[in-house]
């Protein structure tokens, strides 16, 4: 008797070719349902419809098609066990050798604009995961395929082994099947959690769920991690590529682990400066900004960001908030850089950049959207928090000093505040004319961070602005800043000794702004 295969797929890539080879080369009969059966019939491939095989019609508008003992009995049967063999015979059930199933496109559905909860619910597959899990559980006897990329490998090994792939192959397919259903369930749970949270708390910060899962599909095995002795991989979240998985790499070597970490840090900074505003550029090294600037042209913004710390910028990562033009491309090729990312790249700029063949150039049209939550792994578990996506405008600040900022000074203080948010704590930033001049990053005390930032800025501190990601617990840093020529300080406020800092600012003729929000970045 011919072998029996069950085919029921939403993704029909490679379906006809697989089915034709099964029937012509491997002596299979095919049981199928719905759109899959229709596609095979149209291709003149013989098919037994599920309703004919089970003797039961599809019901509930197609919600129930394959949930039947003749289907699941055939998948779960162990033909070498007498009791199972008797059950098959008594109930007129044939065992399946092959199950080919992939699921309703849930993630593709919810990614469409205007999709409501009702439509999303109808795209939750029930029969598909049940068949996949059953076949994966019974992989000692059944092969399960849930991805069209598996079809060619299956046909090769099946033809080489009298139609029965070796157990190691079936076990590998079973592993992939369980990951497939796990990722599918995870996407549904996350969507429903988010939908319910927004319904319950429309005007509040999103609460984190009681259960939390991280799921992804392997996109690329990386050469190594942070160091050569560390293995590393890059996983894509969800079935639909987004973020860096959706970026187009125009040229250069494959991205490394450290490249991707730095690129994400660069994206977070440049997201502070949308493309419909002034041209902006950020140069990073080891996730900290070497230089950030906004200007009247993209090339000017890049040059100012680079000049802020040209020594550290060597081998850095550059993010731009507007498409790369020829003038900016020419500036970018003036030194060694690891990566450049922008929302676009003009054709004449591509020609210039191609002269630097090792320079990785990426186009990511959406540099604004990022993760809504961040995860940090610890021993025995992990921590999750909502991302620090808070956007403030200066109208929310308090100006406790006697000297008040002009509109231009306030705008520049806001620039400083948006950038210091992305510097490792303790963080101090010195800026002037919308260009960073000194960065004190990741220091164990704020006094040290102030000293580093002022020393790096040098004589340019005269008339500059200083930003701090946390409050000043004493007035010593205020006095140090004033001695260096700083004219304005922006900080969260909130210290029990705020009055000391305000008093020092008034005494020394400084402007001081309290944002009311801190931005620690550990």
- Residues designated catalytic: 137, 286
Whether the CB-CB separation of 431 and 437 falls below 8 Å is answered with yes
Q: How far apart are CA 144 and CA 202, in angstroms?
A: 43
Q: What is the CA radius of gyration of the chain?
A: 30
Q: How far is residue 411 CA from its own chain's centroid?
A: 31
Alpha-carbon separation of residue 299 from 278, 306, 360, 430 (angstroms): 12, 10, 18, 22
- Nearest-angstrom CA–CA distance, 137 and 168: 14
Separation CA 408–CA 401 (nearest Å): 17
Q: What's the CA angle centered on 275, arms 460 and 312, to 5 degrees?
A: 40
Q: Which residues neighbour 397 within 8 Å (Cβ) at sequence distance 6 or greater?
A: 490, 513, 514, 515, 516
CA–CA dist 382, 376 (Å, integer): 6
- Those residues with Cβ within 8 angstroms of residue 267's Cβ, 6 or more apart along the chain or in another chain: 319, 341, 364, 367, 370
Cβ(77)–Cβ(84) below 8 Å: yes
Tell me the angle at which helices 15-25 and 34-42 cross, rounded to the nearest 10 degrees: 70
Residue with tokens 């991805």: 147
- By DSSP bridging, strand 435-440 and strand 28-32 are unpaired
| 10-14 long-range contacts, CB within 8 A, separation 24+ | 10/35, 10/102, 10/103, 10/104, 10/105, 10/125, 10/128, 11/102, 11/105, 11/148, 12/36, 12/39, 13/148, 14/148, 14/151, 14/152
DSSP string, 55-79: S---BGGGTBSS-SHHHHHHHH--T
Helix (H) and strand (E) counts in the chain: 19, 20
CB-based burial label for 84 (10 Å; 0-12, 13-18, 19+) = middle
Give CA separation, 351 vs 357, 365, 379, 425, 428, in Å. Answer: 11, 20, 48, 40, 39
200 to each of 111, 197, 207, how far by Cα in Å? 21, 5, 10
The set of residues, in sequence order, having a beta carbon less than 8 Å from that of 100 and lying 6+ positions away, is 5, 6, 7, 8, 9, 18, 144, 145, 146, 151
Which has the closest alpha carbon to 456: 288, 252, 303?
A: 288
């Amino acid at each position: 008797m011919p072998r029996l295969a069950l085919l029921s797929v939403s993704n029909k890539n490679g379906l006809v070719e697989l089915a034709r080879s099964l029937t012509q080369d491997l002596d299979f009969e095919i049981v199928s349902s719905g759109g899959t059966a229709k596609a095979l019939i149209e291709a003149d491939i013989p098919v037994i419809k599920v309703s004919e095989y089970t003797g039961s019609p599809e019901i509930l508008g197609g919600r129930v098609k394959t949930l039947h003992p003749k289907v699941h009995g055939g998948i779960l049967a162990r033909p070498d066990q007498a009791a199972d063999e008797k059950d098959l015979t008594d109930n007129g059930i044939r065992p399946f050798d092959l199950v080919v199933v992939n699921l309703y496109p849930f993630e593709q559905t919810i990614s469409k604009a205007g999709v409501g909860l009702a439509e999303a619910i109808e795209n939750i597959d029930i029969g598909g995961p049940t068949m996949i899990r059953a076949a994966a559980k019974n992989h000692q006897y059944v092969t399960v395929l849930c991805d069209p990329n598996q079809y060619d490998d299956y046909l090769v090994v099946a033809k080489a082994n009298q139609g029965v792939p070796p157990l190691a192959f079936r076990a590998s397919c079973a592993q992939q099947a369980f990951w497939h259903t796990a990722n599918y369930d995870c996407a549904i749970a996350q969507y429903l959690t988010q939908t319910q949270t927004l319904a319950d708390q429309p005007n509040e910060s999103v609460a984190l769920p009681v259960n939390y899962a991280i799921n992804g599909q392997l996109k690329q095995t990386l050469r190594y991690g942070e160091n050569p002795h560390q293995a590393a991989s890059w996983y894509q979240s969800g079935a639909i590529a987004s973020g860096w998985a959706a970026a187009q790499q125009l040229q250069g070597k494959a991205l490394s682990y450290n490249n991707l970490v730095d690129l994400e840090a660069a994206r977070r900074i440049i997201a502070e400066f949308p493309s419909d505003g002034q041209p902006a550029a950020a140069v990073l090294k080891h996730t900290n900004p070497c230089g950030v600037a906004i200007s009247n042209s993209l090339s000017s913004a890049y040059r100012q960001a680079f000049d802020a710390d040209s020594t550290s910028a060597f081998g850095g990562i550059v993010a731009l908030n507007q498409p790369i033009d020829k003038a900016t491309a020419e500036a970018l090729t003036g030194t060694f850089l690891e990566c450049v990312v922008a929302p676009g790249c003009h054709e004449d700029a591509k020609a210039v950049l191609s002269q630097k063949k090792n320079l990785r150039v990426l186009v990511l049209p959406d540099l604004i959207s990022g993760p809504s939550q961040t995860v940090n792994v610890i021993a025995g578990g992990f921590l999750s928090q909502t991302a620090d996506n808070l956007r403030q405008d200066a109208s929310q600040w308090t100006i406790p000093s006697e000297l008040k900022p002009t509109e231009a000074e306030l705008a520049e203080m806001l620039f400083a505040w948006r950038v210091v948010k992305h510097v490792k704590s303790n963080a101090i930033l010195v800026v002037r004319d919308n260009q960073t001049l000194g960065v004190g990053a990741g220091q164990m005390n704020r006094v040290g961070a102030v000293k580093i930032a002022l020393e790096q800025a040098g004589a340019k501190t005269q008339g500059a602005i200083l930003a701090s990601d946390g409050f000043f617990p004493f007035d010593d840093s205020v006095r140090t800043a004033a001695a260096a020529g700083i004219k304005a300080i922006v900080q969260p406020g909130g210290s029990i000794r705020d009055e000391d800092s305000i008093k020092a600012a008034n005494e020394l003729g400084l402007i001081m702004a309290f944002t009311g929000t801190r931005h620690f970045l550990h």
